[in-house]
Homo-oligomer: A and B are copies of this chain.
Amino acid sequence: MGTSIDTLQELLFDLAGVLPADTAPLFAMTTPVSLETNEAYIREGENSRRLAFIEKGVVRAYTIKENGDEATLFLRWEGQFIASHDTIINRQPSRFIYRALEPVKLLQIDYDVLEEILKTHPEYEPIRNFFLMKMLAESLKMLESFVTQSPEERYRELLSERFDLVNRVPDKYIASMLGITPVSLSRIRKRMHTKGKTVT
């Protein structure tokens, strides 16, 4: 146990030079959370401003479209952060659902509590910036892929960069994240088998 805390302490030290011994005030406010497969972490309409570091497992963020279909915004896995961006950034009830695709272990903190701690411990600010920048970088990277690549190219890139993830997650969620239907993803895979076998 304590793996998440260890990892985050390393992060803090690397980023801000804060020694593990000095992080007590921060980690005193974190809560370990376990989720079963298919359990919701944040539900639609929820207002809690939770932020979590994923120690283990995969979490899917998705929304329900007007026609009732689900659309996966992104997947997050161990080493990444998840946050209810509607509630934290926009102070709106969450339009998104965050659900575990596997048994998940999180280290959770409430964003409001984090802000309180930052008032008295500004030396932790780099953590907040780090997590914001990391999420921004990931979003921009996905955005970039949508304007520069075809669905097939996005899938090929995902395969080459996150092969493990693609194999852990049902195809229909991968398809949805790529902005296409499962049927279409299936055709892309067929095309890839018959034609060019290259993975990049």
Binds B, one of A25-33, A97-105, A121-129, A158-166: A121-129
Contact (Cβ within 8 A) B144 A142 = no
Select one of B122, B139, B142 contacting A136, CB under 8 A. Answer: B139
Known: A136-B135, A136-B136. A144 touches B73 (CB 8 A): yes
Q: Which of A135, A136, A137 has the most CB of B within 10 A?
A: A136
Report the nearest B residue to A132, measured CB to CB: B132
Contact (Cβ within 8 A) A179 B136 = no
The CA of A72 and the CA of B74, in the complex, are separated in Å by: 22
Contacting residues, chain B, for A133 (C-beta < 8 A): 89, 132
Select one of B71, B73, B129, B146 contacting A128, CB under 8 A. Answer: B129
